[in-house]
């Protein structure tokens, strides 16, 4: 052991994840012993490691000499006893508690007392797994993200029994492998998967309420929020059955927490065998070459042509729209009469005299709850620099000329549009507000730090920004207004605001500041 860095690494399980971890081990100079009881699985795993090292050689990450040296460090075995020399063993076996318990009991007898035993579980509490070890203080979680050789994040989990030395070894190993390492306390989903749950969960709820179709929701999230994939594309990629199993696990481990309740839509698709890409059909049909049309090219603000536009309100949305209006050539006014009216502040807009077409930011109650029978609702999530799409909503009483005028105005401001049904925050506002809320719950419960939450979702889940950064962009008051309006209109506990979020708004401070240790 070089300080806290192991010289001999063991990996239990030669599947995709185990082979990826073994590749990382040999790639950073550790003698690595890959174990699997099935010889054919072991050979497939070893071949994955060899191919992975060859890719590193081809792209210049390793020189030919370094690649040869890395491959020479790989050993394979189908006998668990061969892991005796290992100073760190990372278990990457299937997500079955009894199987993991058996492995940790046997590893406790095989490995030296100072050896650290880590689990790569993504859903089973590490505390439960550690209980099978003879000295559970040496057990921790090391949650790699798939594919392990490419993803930059490693989540280290401290079980109730975990000692400081086990954490030190896990951190040192992760950093040696080139990972950004974050620390999470044990609990459902740990830090990253827990804080990322609303991305899928709230999207499913929007679909269940028929706020928009799954294709429209994905389009809004990509173009409006800057995400690489929409939630339904992501669920298909991961596997609808896998996501459903994880959702049921969350619900069970949390004793029925409403925020983490599985969706009946997931259950229905699984029952129908529509499991996503792996079955050829999930939310999308993959029998065609393209399962969805390509996204349109971004628009530039233009075409205002001196039209009198009034934008009222303070904050990031109002200021961002004013900047675009200037670039588009509108005759921008702060108040008074105009040909078009956009209210982008908090509270309820006062309709202009003369009946000019009006758009109202739905960062709070819905159009129906506001009594806005003539106005058009809209929502944007700041920052607006890279936002390409605005969501629009209207009640049946809204005049057609107002819908067309507001649609054209936003196009001139540089936005594609998507019509959805009326609701607080519309689609993206609901998803982002719930991401912020879950982060506030996690911060308040001491599950992780603001920096680790943001790094976890950005590096582990490829979000364009973490939820604490989202709260800083939109403002805690914006997120709270959406959540409180949803709670008022839906009367569901899933929309109750985290105490830390409510405190941040009351004190006029940010989540990051309030979460600092006292």
pLDDT at 354: 57
Structurally, the chain folds into a number of domains equal to 4
Supply the mean pLDDT for the chain: 94
Which token pair is 44? Answer: 């497939």
Over 70: is that where the pLDDT of 450 sits?
A: yes
Over 90: is that where the pLDDT of 351 sits?
A: no
Residue 282, phi then psi, degrees to nearest 5: -140, -115
Which token pair is 453? Answer: 């939450």
Over 70: is that where the pLDDT of 401 sits?
A: yes
Is residue 321 located within the same domain as residue 410? yes
pLDDT at 2: 53
Q: How far apart are CA 260 and CA 249, in angstroms?
A: 9
**CA separation, residue 14 to residues 11, 42, 78, 447 (Å):** 8, 5, 10, 31
Is residue 354 located within the same domain as residue 475? no
Residue 272: inside a domain: yes
Residue 224: inside a domain: yes
On whether the CB atoms of residues 185 and 448 are closer than 8 A, the answer is yes
pLDDT at 349: 59
CATH of the domain at 343: 3.40.50.720
Mean pLDDT, range 370-378, rounded to an integer: 94
Which token pair is 341? Answer: 């009216």
Q: How far apart are CA 503 and CA 105, in angstroms?
A: 45
Q: Which of 155, 216, 233, 458 is catalytic?
A: 155
Q: How far apart are CA 512 and CA 504, in angstroms?
A: 9
Is residue 434 located within the same domain as residue 413? no
Residue 319 known to be catalytic = no
Over 90: is that where the pLDDT of 516 sits?
A: no
Mean pLDDT, range 281-301, rounded to an integer: 95
pLDDT at 47: 97
Q: Which of 143, 379, 416, 478 is catalytic?
A: 143
Examine the fold and report which residue of 154, 186, 218 is the final residue of a domain before the chain moves on: 186
Residue 478 known to be catalytic = no
Mean pLDDT, range 155-176, rounded to an integer: 97
pLDDT at 345: 84
On whether the CB atoms of residues 479 and 433 are closer than 8 A, the answer is yes
* Peptide bond connecting 383 to the previous residue in cis, omega within 30 degrees of 0: yes
Tell me the β-bridge partners of 191. none
3-class state of residue 311 by DSSP: strand
pLDDT at 394: 97
Is residue 176 located within the same domain as residue 233? no
Q: How far apart are CA 80 and CA 72, in angstroms?
A: 21
Q: Which of 87, 91, 108, 122 is catalytic?
A: 122
Tens-place pLDDT, residues 123-147:
899 999 999 999 999 999 999 999 9
pLDDT at 260: 94
Tens-place pLDDT, residues 412-446:
999 999 999 999 999 999 999 999 999 999 999 99
Over 70: is that where the pLDDT of 247 sits?
A: yes
Over 80: is that where the pLDDT of 352 sits?
A: no
Residue 146 known to be catalytic = no
Q: Which residue has the tokens 């003539």?
A: 374
pLDDT at 347: 63
Is residue 327 located within the same domain as residue 386? yes
pLDDT at 348: 62
Closest CA relative to residue 181, chosen from 5, 427, 430, 380: 5
Ordered DSSP codes for 232-298: HHHHHHH-HHHHHHHHHHHHHHTTS-GGGPPPHHHHHHHHTT--BGGGTBSSSBTTSS-SSPPPPPP
Is residue 89 located within the same domain as residue 175? yes
Mean pLDDT, range 1-30, rounded to an integer: 91
pLDDT at 225: 97
Q: Which residue has the tokens 């830090």?
A: 191
Tens-place pLDDT, residues 93-105:
998 999 999 999 9
CB proximity list for 324: less than 8 A, separation 6 or greater: 301, 384, 413, 414
Over 90: is that where the pLDDT of 459 sits?
A: yes
CATH of the domain at 270: 1.10.1040.50
E strand map for 147-212:
153-158, 180-185
Over 90: is that where the pLDDT of 293 sits?
A: yes
pLDDT at 518: 65
Q: How many CA atoms lie within 13 A of 269 on its CB side?
A: 27
Residue 83: inside a domain: yes
Q: How far apart are CA 115 and CA 23, in angstroms?
A: 20
CB proximity list for 407: less than 8 A, separation 6 or greater: 392, 417
Residue 313: inside a domain: yes
Residue 486: inside a domain: yes
Tens-place pLDDT, residues 43-66:
999 999 999 999 999 999 999 999
Examine the fold and report which residue of 186, 202, 223 is the final residue of a domain before the chain moves on: 186
Over 70: is that where the pLDDT of 363 sits?
A: yes
Which token pair is 140? Answer: 């921790």
Is residue 323 located within the same domain as residue 201? no
pLDDT at 350: 61
Residue 85: inside a domain: yes
Is residue 213 located within the same domain as residue 313? no
Q: How far apart are CA 462 and CA 43, in angstroms?
A: 31
Mean pLDDT, range 485-509, rounded to an integer: 97
Examine the fold and report which residue of 170, 186, 202 is the final residue of a domain before the chain moves on: 186
Over 90: is that where the pLDDT of 3 sits?
A: no
Is residue 340 located within the same domain as residue 238? no
On whether the CB atoms of residues 222 and 173 are closer than 8 A, the answer is no
pLDDT at 284: 97
On whether the CB atoms of residues 247 and 265 are closer than 8 A, the answer is no
Mean pLDDT, range 81-86, rounded to an integer: 97
Residue 331 pLDDT level (bands cut at 50, 70, 90): very high
Is residue 37 located within the same domain as residue 175? yes
pLDDT at 120: 96
Is residue 24 located within the same domain as residue 161? yes
pLDDT at 497: 98
pLDDT at 283: 98
Residue 76: inside a domain: yes
Is residue 204 located within the same domain as residue 147? no
Residue 122: inside a domain: yes
**CA separation, residue 486 to residues 16, 223, 367, 505 (Å):** 41, 24, 12, 17
Longest dimension (CA), the chain: 84
Residue 155 known to be catalytic = yes
Which token pair is 326? Answer: 């200037």
Q: Which of 108, 193, 200, 263 is catalytic?
A: 193
Domain residues for 325? 308-419
Secondary structure letter of residue 491 according to DSSP:
-
Q: How far apart are CA 219 and CA 295, in angstroms?
A: 8
């Amino acid at each position: 052991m070089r300080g806290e860095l192991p010289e001999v690494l063991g990996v239990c399980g030669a599947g995709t994840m185990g082979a990826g971890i073994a590749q990382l081990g040999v790639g950073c100079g550790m003698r690595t012993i890959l174990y699997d009881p099935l010889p054919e699985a072991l050979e497939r795993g070893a071949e994955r490691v060899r191919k992975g090292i060859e890719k590193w050689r081809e792209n210049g990450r390793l020189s030919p000499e370094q690649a040869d040296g890395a491959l020479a460090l790989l050993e394979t075995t189908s006998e668990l006893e061969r892991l005796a020399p290992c100073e760190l063993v990372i278990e990457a076996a299937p997500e079955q508690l009894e199987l993991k318990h058996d492995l940790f009991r046997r590893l406790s007898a095989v490995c030296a007392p100072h050896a650290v035993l880590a689990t790569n579980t993504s859903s089973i509490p590490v505390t439960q797994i550690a209980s099978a070890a003879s000295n559970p203080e040496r057990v921790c979680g090391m949650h790699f993200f798939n594919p392990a050789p490419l993803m930059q994040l490693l989540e280290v989990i401290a079980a109730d029994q975990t000692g400081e030395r086990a954490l030190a070894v896990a951190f040192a190993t992760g950093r040696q492998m080139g990972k950004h390492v974050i620390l999470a306390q044990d609990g459902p989903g740990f830090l990253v998967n827990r804080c990322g749950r609303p991305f899928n969960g709230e999207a499913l709820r929007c679909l269940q309420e028929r706020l928009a179709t799954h294709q429209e929701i994905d389009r809004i999230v990509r173009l409006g929020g800057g995400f690489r994939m929409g939630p339904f594309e992501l669920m298909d990629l991961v596997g609808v059955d896998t996501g459903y199993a994880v959702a049921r696990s969350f619900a069970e481990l949390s004793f029925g927490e409403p925020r983490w309740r599985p969706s009946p839509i997931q259950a229905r698709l699984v029952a129908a065998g529509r499991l996503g890409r792996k079955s050829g059909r999930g939310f999308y049909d993959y029998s065609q070459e393209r399962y969805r049309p390509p996204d349109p090219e971004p628009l530039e603000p233009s075409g205002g042509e001196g039209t009198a536009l009034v934008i009222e309100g303070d904050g990031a949305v109002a200021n961002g729209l004013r900047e675009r209006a200037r670039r588009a050539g509108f005759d921008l006014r702060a108040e008074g009469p105009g040909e078009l009216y956009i209210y982008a502040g908090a509270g309820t807009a006062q309709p202009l005299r003369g009946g000019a077409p009006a758009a109202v930011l739905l960062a709070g109650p819905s159009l129906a709850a506001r009594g806005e029978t003539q106005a058009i609702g809209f929502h944007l999530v700041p920052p607006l620099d890279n936002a390409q799409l605005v969501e629009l909503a209207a009640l049946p009483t809204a005049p057609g000329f107002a819908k067309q005028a507001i649609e054209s105005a936003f196009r001139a401001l540089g936005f594609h549009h998507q019509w959805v049904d009326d609701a607080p925050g519309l689609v993206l506002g609901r998803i982002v507000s719930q991401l912020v809320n879950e982060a506030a719950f996690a911060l308040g419960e001491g599950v992780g730090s603001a920096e680790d939450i943001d790094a976890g979702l950005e590096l582990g889940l490829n979000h364009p920004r973490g939820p604490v950064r989202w709260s800083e962009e939109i403002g805690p008051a914006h997120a709270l207004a959406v959540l409180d309006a949803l709670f008022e209109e839906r009367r569901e506990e899933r929309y109750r605001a985290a105490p830390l979020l409510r405190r941040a708004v009351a004190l006029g401070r940010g989540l990051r500041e309030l979460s600092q240790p006292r």
